[in-house]
Structure 1
Amino acid sequence: MNARAETRPSLAGLAERYLLALAPSPVPAGIANDTSGPLDPTGLGGQIAAIARNPSQRDSRLLALQSAFGFGDPELLAAALAYRVETDPYFAHQIARFQEPLGKGHILIGFLASAFGLDDAGILELAGGGAVASGLLDVGTEDAVLCERGLVMPQAMLAAVGGHPRKESFANPLDPLSVKFAPAQRDQMADLSTWLSGGTGRVLHVANADREEALAFAHQLAARRQEEPVVIDSAAPAPPAWLHLRRALPIISVDLGVGEHWSFPQQVCAHTPCIIVSGLDGKIDCARPIRTWQGGALDCHEREQVWQDWGYPAAEAVSLANRYRQGAGAIARAARSMESQADPGCAIAHTTPALDLLAQRCKSADIPEDALIATPDLRDSLRQVEQRILLRERLSDNLGPALTARYRPGVRALFTGESGTGKTLAASWLSARLGLPLYRVDMAALSSKWIGETEKNLSQLLSAAETSDAILFFDEADALFGSRTDVSDSNDRHANAQTNFLLQRIEDFEGIALLTTNSRDRFDSAFVRRLDAILEFPLPDAAARRQLWLSHLGDHHSLTGADIDILARELDLAGGHIRNVVLGAAIRARIEERAINRADLFSAIADELEKLGRATPEIFPTLES
C-alpha cells in the first residue's frame, strides 16, 4: 500500500484490484492502493455495496450519479479511476507504464473491458453508456480504434465530484433579484415547485415581459427547492451530471417574436427540471411535461399587499396601488428608487429599463396649468382622458355583462391637428398630472425591412409599457397605423398583414397609448374604431394666440399690450411656430444682454414665415416703427 492510500475501501481502490489481474510482473509501484484480500466472489455489485455502506464523500457523489443516471458498475469504477488519473500525477504516470506499449495516462477502454471481463456490448456501454451520456466521462479524441481510446473526466466534473465548486463557462449563476411577489404568486410558486418534483425532466415556462421579474421568480423558486439557479445556453448545455451534483436548477432564456416557435431540445436537462424564461410572444414547442406561469400586472389589492411588503404604511400603500398599475418587478424597482427619491412619480420614471431600449424617455417636467393653451372643449376632453386613465381598472365595475366580458383597462387616445397646435405639450401635460413616465416612440426604429421584425419590436414595446405603467407617445402614428391598401403584389399583402396585426395588438393593449397625426383621414377606419378618444387640436383663434404670445414671452420684454394684440390678430401662427419666433428673438436679445424688443420679434417672425413659405404681412412696418 503506498503513501497516498486511502484509509477506507474505495471505488478507485477496488478498480485497481481488478486491473492487477492484467498487470505485468513486477507490478508497477503505486498501482494498487487497496489490495488486501482476494476479490469478492459475488462480483462487482457486492463489493460496491460494501463500499457504499461507508463511502468517502467523493465516492458518495459517484454513487449518487450512478443511482440518478442508471449506469453500470464498470462505468462507476471507470469514473473513479478517471478522477484519480486526472488528480494524481504519480498514479497517472504508473498507469501509463501499466498500459505499455501504448503508454497513455488515461485509462483505455480496452484495458477496462479486459479487467472487468466485458464483451463487445460492455465495451460499447463503457464508451456510450450513462456515464458518458450524463457528461461524467468523455471518450478521448485519439485517432485510434475504440479499445485504444481513453476515458476522461472533464474538468468541470472533476471539480464537482471532488467537492470543489467553481464557476463554469456553460453555466452562469443567477444573482438574487430583490422582488417581492404577491401572496397569490407565492402560492403559485409553491405549487409549481411541487409539480417540478413530480416527474423526470419537467419544464416550467415563465412568460413575462418584465425580464427582471421573470428571473426573480425563477430564482426564488430555486431557493424554495434548495437548488442553485444557473443560466445555461441550450446550444451548449451544462452536463446533466454536473447539474445533479451541484443541485442546480437550469434556466434557459429565449427571445421570441410574434408567431415564432422555439423547440426545446430533447437532450437538454433530460434528468432534471428546467425553467424557460421568455417574453409573452411566440410559442414553446416541448414534448416533455410543461406548465406556464405568466406574471405581469397585479390587481389593486395585490399591489397594495406588495407595497406593504416593501415597508409602506397601509394608507400610502393604498394610494400607490390605486395610482400605479404595475407588476411585482416594476414595484420593486420603484420601491428601491423611492429610497432616494422623495417624489413617487420620479421613482416610477426609473422603473422602465426595457422601454429605454425601445423608445426615448421624454424629460419629465412640472407643466403649470396655464402653460397649456387650449379651448374649453379641448381642456375638458383632456381631463376626460386623465380621468379615464385614473379609473381604468375599476371603470367596468357593476356594469353589464356585454361590456365587462371584453373590457380591457388600456387607454388609447388620438390627438389630431395641424403641426404646432399643442399635441406634444398636451401629452407631456397628461404625463405630469398622472405622475407617469412618457416615452416617445421612434417609428423609424420600430419599422424594419425584415418580415416580422416590425411586429416583434412593437409587441415587445407594448408589453414593456404594460408592465411598467408608462405612457407611450406615438408621434405621427399614421406612419405605422395607416390605412390598408388594395392588394396588387406580395408587398401589399405583407403590409396589410402587418397592419392587421398592429390593429389587433393595439386593441389588446392594457397600457396607455397617446397617438398624434396631422389628419385622422390617414388612419384605417378599423383602427379609429378601436380608439377610446379622439381629440381635435384646432388652430388657435386670435384670443388663444394672444394667450400663446403672453405665455411664451413671459415678463422679460418691452412690447406693449397693443403690440401683442396686433401679433395675435394679424399673424395666423400655431403655438409651435410662436415658440420658434420667441426663441429666435431671445437669441438676439441675449447676445446684447437686454430684454426682447420689437426689432427682435420683427426679425424672428420674418425668419419663421420664410421657413413656412409665407409672405410678409403689412403689419410689420407698424410693428417695427
Structure 2
Amino acid sequence: MALLGAECTALVREDVVIDAHQGYPDQREAWDSLGERMRAHVAGEGASRLLGVVGLPEASYWLVQLCTAVEVYPEAAAAVSIIAEDERLSLVTPVVFARLLRAALGIPFAQALREAIPGGTAERLGLVERAEPAANRPLSQQPLRLTAAELAAALGDEPASDKGTLSVRREPPSAGTGFARAFVQGAAELLRERGVLCIRAASSRAGRQLALDLASYRGESALLVTAGEELVEPAEVWRLRGGLAIVDLSLAAGARGFSEAWVQRLARHQRPLVVIAPWSTVTFELATVDVEGLDPQARLRVWSLGLGDESRAAGLASRFGVNLEEVRAAVRAARDTARLEGRMEVEGDEQTLAAEVMAQGARRMGRVVSRLRTNARIEHLIVPPAMRQALEDIVAWYRAGPRVRGEWHLAERSPLGRGLSCLFAGPPGTGKTFAAQCLAGTLGLNLYRIDLSQVVSKYIGETEKALHRIFEEAESGHGILLFDEADALFGKRSEVKDAHDRYANIEVGYLLQRLESFEGVSILTTNLRNHIDPAFVRRLAFILDFPMPDARTRRTLWEQSLPPRERWEPSLDLGQFVERFPLSGGNIHNIGLAAAHLAAARADGSLRTEHLVRATYRELEKNGMPRSRESFGPLSTHLPGR
C-alpha cells in the first residue's frame, strides 16, 4: 500500500493537484487488486490473532499494520516520506494513512482520518503513539509510530507493557483439568459464545484454578493478571496476546475506581477474556460462572496434574487444597532446593513438597499475621492426662477429616462447620499458646498468630476484608489460625447505641459466619472465657480449660525450664520454690531462662539457689505479685540488699 501510494505520487505532474479526499484515482486496477487481498486477509483468522483484540475498527487495524511496515521495511519508510512530500519525515501521518486507505479499500477519508488523529482507537489501546507532537503542525499532520511493546511483539518477542507496570504470569496448559471436565466444557462454551466470562468465586484460589482449566481446555497458555489496590490499565490488558487473558479482581473490590463500568471497559477490546471477582461484590452483566472451593476430587486431580503421579498426589491432596499454579511453584522450589543441596533426584519427596507449600503460604499471609516457628510436639507439653487426651483427639480429628468428608461424604449433609475450631481458656501463662504451637508441630503445619492491630481497622469494611484474606489463605491447609486474646475479636455483641456499636456488631457477625464456613483449623485463646460471645460456642469442636498447675506439675515445669541437672549446685532444692510459689508455666519458664543467664555469666557456669531467688523475685515484681521476705521465707537470705 505504501509503495503503490509512493508510485502514484511520483507519477503526478508538478502542475497537477489531486484532492487527498479522493485517494489516488490512477492505477485503479492495482488498487482494486490490493484491496481484495487486504479484505481477504481481514476475513481470515490472522488479523484477530495478530492483534489479540475484537471490535478493533478495520481502519485502526491497517493503521497498526502500516506503522509496523514503516518500522520493519526501510522502503516503506521511504515511501511514506514520498507520499507526505517531506524528505525529513519517514513516519505515517493521519493524512497519508487516510489517503492510502481511501484508495485501497474505499473507506471514506474522514472515517479513516478519525481513527488516526489523537484519541483514535489504536492510540487509545496503546498500539501506536504520537512522535514528538509539534505545536506548529495540524493534528492531521502529527506523525504516528508503533509503540515499543508492539514492535517487540511484531518481531516475535514476548508482549509487555510499554510502561512496565503490568505484571503477567504465564502458565502453560496442562494435560487435564482440576474441575470436572464437563463443568469446564460448559464454561468454555459460554466463553466462546460471549467472548467474556466472569468467574464469581468464593475463593480466589478456586477461581484461578477454573481459569487455568479453561486455558488448558482451549489448548493455550493462561496469562494471569492480578489487580490489587491499584487497578491495572485496561489498555495494557488489551495488548496481551499469545494466550487466554485472565484478570483476577479478587483484591480489587475496594480499589479506587473499581466499578462495573470499569470491568465493562476492560472487556471492550480484549476477547476472549476471563474475569475473576469476589463472590459478594459481583453484579456485572456478564456471562457468569459460580465457583466454590476445591473439593477432594478436584484437589487430587490438581496434584496429579502438577506431579504427573497420582500415587504421590494422594497424601498431599489430603493436606493441601491449592491450585495448579501453586503446585507447580512448589515443585519448582523443591527442585531448586534439591540442586542446592547437591541431590540427584530433583522431583522432591512428599515432605519437601509439603514444606515448600507451607513456606509459600507463609509468604502470602503477609503482614496481618505473625508466623510462630516451633519444633514443639504434644509430648513436650506438661498438662494433666485429660488435657493431653483432648489434644490428641484434636490431632485425630484433623487427620481423619479427609476420610469423613471425602469417603463418607458427611460434609455434603451440612455445608457449614466443616473446619476444626477450638477454644483454649485459662489464666495467663497456663500454656494455651504453647499448646497451639505443639499442635502445629505435631500436625506439621504453620502457626499464624493474628495481629489484631493489623486486622481491626477504624474504616468500615476494612476489618472484614483483612479477615477474608486470612481465612481464605488458611483454608488451603498450610497453617493453623491462632486468635490470641480472642475476646477482643470474638467478644459479646453489645446493645446498639451508636454507629460504632452497630459496625462492631457487624464485624462480630461476620466472624460468626466466616468461622462457621471455615474449612481449616482455628484456635482461639482467652483469659476471660465468659467474655466470648455465646454464639461462638456451638461452632467450636473443642473447648479446653487450662488450669493453674498443681504442685506435681509445677515441679516438672521447674525441672524442664532449668539447665541440665549436672549444672545445678548440689545444695539447690527445688522443693521450696515448688511449694512457696504457685506460679503458672509461663512464669516458671521466664524464671528458668533468667536464672540460666545468671548462671552462665559465672566462670564455673553452675546454677545456684541465689540465681533462682533473684529471678523469681524479678518475675513476681514484673507481674505485681506478693514478694515480701515472709513469702520467700528462708530463701530471703539470697536477696542481697533487700
TM-score > 0.5, shorter chain as reference: yes
Q: Give how far 1:503 is off.
A: 1.9
Aligned: 1:535 with 2:544? yes
Q: Give how far 1:409 is off.
A: 1.9
Does the 8 Å contact 2:245/2:273 carry over to 1? Answer: yes
Match of 1:4 in 2: none
Counterpart of 1:427, as a letter, is A
- Measured against aligned partners, the alpha-carbon deviations of 1:150-170 in whole angstroms (never above 9, x if no partner) come to 473432586278544354325
Distance (whole Å) between structure 2 residues aligned to residue 218 and residue 523 of structure 1: 41
Does the 8 Å contact 1:181/1:328 carry over to 2? Answer: no
Distance (whole Å) between structure 2 residues aligned to residue 178 and residue 112 of structure 1: 40
Counterpart of 2:596, as a letter, is A
Does the 8 Å contact 2:378/2:442 carry over to 1? Answer: no
Distance (whole Å) between structure 2 residues aligned to residue 76 and residue 307 of structure 1: 43
Match of 1:32 in 2: none
Does the 8 Å contact 1:334/1:348 carry over to 2? Answer: yes
Of the candidates 587, 605, 611, which is equivalent to residue 616 of structure 2?
Answer: 605
Residues 601/173 of structure 1: CA separation in 2 closer, same or farther (3 Å cut): closer
Aligned: 1:288 with 2:286? yes
- Measured against aligned partners, the alpha-carbon deviations of 1:269-305 in whole angstroms (never above 9, x if no partner) come to 4241112345x464234333343555x4441x55455
| 395-404 vs 494-503, which moves further | 395-404
Counterpart of 2:585, as a letter, is G
Match of 1:5 in 2: none
User: Superposed, which structure 2 residues align to 1:104-115 within 5 Å?
Assistant: 106-110=91-95
- Measured against aligned partners, the alpha-carbon deviations of 1:159-209 in whole angstroms (never above 9, x if no partner) come to 27854435432555424379997654566545544442234x312437475
Of the candidates 174, 195, 202, which is equivalent to residue 169 of structure 2?
Answer: 174
Does the 8 Å contact 2:595/2:611 carry over to 1? Answer: yes
Residues 181/415 of structure 1: CA separation in 2 closer, same or farther (3 Å cut): farther
Of the candidates 516, 531, 535, which is equivalent to residue 522 of structure 1?
Answer: 531
Does the 8 Å contact 2:179/2:210 carry over to 1? Answer: no
Match of 2:218 in 1: 225
Of the candidates 579, 584, 592, which is equivalent to residue 582 of structure 1?
Answer: 592
Of the candidates 225, 233, 236, which is equivalent to residue 236 of structure 1?
Answer: 233
Aligned: 1:495 with 2:487? no
Gapped runs of 5+ residues in structure 2? 18-23, 339-347, 638-642
Distance (whole Å) between structure 1 residues aligned to residue 295 and residue 481 of structure 2: 20
Match of 2:344 in 1: none
Residues 540/23 of structure 1: CA separation in 2 closer, same or farther (3 Å cut): farther
User: Superposed, which structure 2 residues align to 1:9-24 within 5 Å?
Assistant: 11-16=1-6, 24=14
User: Superposed, which structure 2 residues align to 1:41-120 within 5 Å?
Assistant: 47-50=34-37, 61=47, 69=55, 71=57, 81-85=66-70, 92=77, 95=80, 99=84, 106-110=91-95, 116=102, 118=108, 120=110
| 377-386 vs 61-70, which moves further | 61-70
User: Superposed, which structure 2 residues align to 1:473-484 within 5 Å?
Assistant: 473-484=482-493
Distance (whole Å) between structure 2 residues aligned to residue 461 and residue 477 of structure 1: 15
Of the candidates 392, 401, 412, which is equivalent to residue 401 of structure 2?
Answer: 392
Q: Give how far 1:621 is off.
A: 4.3
Does the 8 Å contact 2:369/2:449 carry over to 1? Answer: yes
Distance (whole Å) between structure 2 residues aligned to residue 62 and residue 306 of structure 1: 32
Counterpart of 1:12, as a letter, is A
User: Superposed, which structure 2 residues align to 1:163-562 within 5 Å?
Assistant: 163-169=155-161, 172-176=167-171, 183-184=178-179, 188-199=183-194, 201-205=195-199, 207=201, 209=203, 218=211, 221-222=214-215, 224-225=217-218, 227=220, 229-230=222-223, 235-238=232-235, 242-243=239-240, 246-256=241-251, 262-263=259-260, 264-271=262-269, 272-277=271-276, 280=278, 282-293=280-291, 296-299=293-296, 301-304=297-300, 306-307=302-303, 317-322=313-318, 328=324, 331-332=327-328, 340=338, 343=351, 346-347=355-356, 349-352=358-361, 353-367=363-377, 369=379, 371-395=380-404, 404-553=413-562, 554-558=564-568
Distance (whole Å) between structure 2 residues aligned to residue 269 and residue 120 of structure 1: 28
Match of 1:8 in 2: none
Q: Give how far 1:480 is off.
A: 1.6
- Secondary structure of the structure 2 residue equivalent to 1:481: coil
| 342-351 vs 521-530, which moves further | 342-351
| 526-535 vs 504-513, which moves further | 526-535
Does the 8 Å contact 1:589/1:596 carry over to 2? Answer: yes
| 494-503 vs 144-153, which moves further | 144-153
Q: Give how far 1:430 is off.
A: 1.1
| 564-573 vs 99-108, which moves further | 99-108
Distance (whole Å) between structure 2 residues aligned to residue 311 and residue 161 of structure 1: 33
- Measured against aligned partners, the alpha-carbon deviations of 1:382-408 in whole angstroms (never above 9, x if no partner) come to 222222222234447899999923443
User: Superposed, which structure 2 residues align to 1:562-577 within 5 Å?
Assistant: 563-577=573-587
Distance (whole Å) between structure 2 residues aligned to residue 517 and residue 64 of structure 1: 61
Residues 504/547 of structure 1: CA separation in 2 closer, same or farther (3 Å cut): same
Residues 320/476 of structure 1: CA separation in 2 closer, same or farther (3 Å cut): same
Does the 8 Å contact 2:483/2:524 carry over to 1? Answer: yes
- Secondary structure of the structure 1 residue equivalent to 2:523: strand
| 16-25 vs 479-488, which moves further | 16-25
Of the candidates 587, 591, 594, which is equivalent to residue 605 of structure 2?
Answer: 594
Distance (whole Å) between structure 1 residues aligned to residue 252 and residue 126 of structure 2: 33
Does the 8 Å contact 1:82/1:151 carry over to 2? Answer: no
Aligned: 1:615 with 2:627? yes
Q: Give how far 1:236 is off.
A: 2.5
- Secondary structure of the structure 2 residue equivalent to 1:468: coil
Aligned residues: 595
Distance (whole Å) between structure 1 residues aligned to residue 432 and residue 160 of structure 2: 54
- Secondary structure of the structure 2 residue equivalent to 1:350: helix
Distance (whole Å) between structure 2 residues aligned to residue 62 and residue 395 of structure 1: 50
Counterpart of 1:254, as a letter, is L
Q: Give how far 1:555 is off.
A: 2.2
Match of 1:6 in 2: none
| 520-529 vs 174-183, which moves further | 174-183
Distance (whole Å) between structure 2 residues aligned to residue 75 and residue 327 of structure 1: 40
TM-score (norm 1): 0.79
Q: CA RMSD in A?
A: 4.6
- Measured against aligned partners, the alpha-carbon deviations of 1:236-278 in whole angstroms (never above 9, x if no partner) come to 23479855xx444333232437888742432334241112345
Of the candidates 135, 138, 144, which is equivalent to residue 152 of structure 1?
Answer: 144
TM-score (norm 2): 0.77
Distance (whole Å) between structure 1 residues aligned to residue 417 and residue 45 of structure 2: 59
Counterpart of 1:273, as a letter, is P
Residues 402/63 of structure 1: CA separation in 2 closer, same or farther (3 Å cut): closer
Distance (whole Å) between structure 1 residues aligned to residue 125 and residue 432 of structure 2: 62
Distance (whole Å) between structure 2 residues aligned to residue 98 and residue 192 of structure 1: 50
Does the 8 Å contact 1:249/1:274 carry over to 2? Answer: yes
- Secondary structure of the structure 2 residue equivalent to 1:363: coil
Does the 8 Å contact 2:427/2:548 carry over to 1? Answer: yes
Does the 8 Å contact 2:177/2:213 carry over to 1? Answer: no
